[in-house]
Amino acid sequence: MTAATRNNISARRERLLGDAPGAFAVARFVRVTPLKSRRVADLIRGLEVDEALALLQFAPQAVAQDFHKLVSSAVANAETTEDLDASDLVISTVLVEEGPTMKRWRPRAKGAANRILKRSSHLTVVVQPADTIQKKGGN
C-alpha cells in the first residue's frame, strides 16, 4: 500500500516509518528490564527476518521469546497491510523504551525494609524491504 492510498496514518507510524514502505509491531509493559532487552535488541538490529527469527528461537535470554513474537507480528503486518514479501524484509529499527516501574518492599533485619524495583519495557520492531534500507543508507 502506498502512502497516497493510506488514509489513516498514525503518529507512531509517521514517527517510525514516514512515507517509507514497511510495518512495525509494538509490545508494551513487558516485564523485563530495559537493560536486558537492549542486549537482545542489539543482536537482531539490521538482520534479515529469517536470520533474526532463527537467532531468537535459540537465544538463551528470556526476552528473546518476546522479540520472536514481535518480529513475527511485524512480518505478518507487512504482509497483510503493506503487501510486502516476507523473504525480502530486514529489521531496520528496534526500540527499547523504559516502561513503568513497580515499587515493592522486602523486609530486612531489625525492622528495616529495602525497596525492590520491578522494571518493565516497551518493545518496538520495524521491518522494511531490503532495497529501501540500502537506498536510505547510500544517500
Domain that holds residue 47: 19-138
Q: Is residue 5 one of the residues assigned to a domain? A: no
Tally of structural domains, the chain: 1
Q: Which pLDDT score is estimated for 139?
A: 45
Q: For a pLDDT cut of 90, what percent of the chain falls above it?
A: 78
Residue 35, helix vs strand vs coil: helix
Q: Is residue 92 one of the residues assigned to a domain? A: yes
Q: Is residue 89 one of the residues assigned to a domain? A: yes
Q: Which pLDDT score is estimated for 133?
A: 75
Is the pLDDT reported for residue 104 higher than 80?
yes
pLDDT band of 50, cuts 50, 70, 90: very high
Is the pLDDT reported for residue 137 higher than 60?
no
Q: Is residue 88 one of the residues assigned to a domain? A: yes
pTM for the whole structure: 0.86
93 neighbors 131 (Cβ within 8 angstroms): no
CATH number at residue 68: 3.90.470.10
- Distance, C-alpha 85 to centroid of its chain: 19
How far apart, in whole angstroms, are the C-alpha atoms of residue 44 and residue 51? 8
Q: Is residue 67 one of the residues assigned to a domain? A: yes
Q: Is residue 35 one of the residues assigned to a domain? A: yes
Q: Is residue 132 one of the residues assigned to a domain? A: yes
How far apart, in whole angstroms, are the C-alpha atoms of residue 100 and residue 121? 8
Q: What nine digits make up the cell of 13? A: 507510524
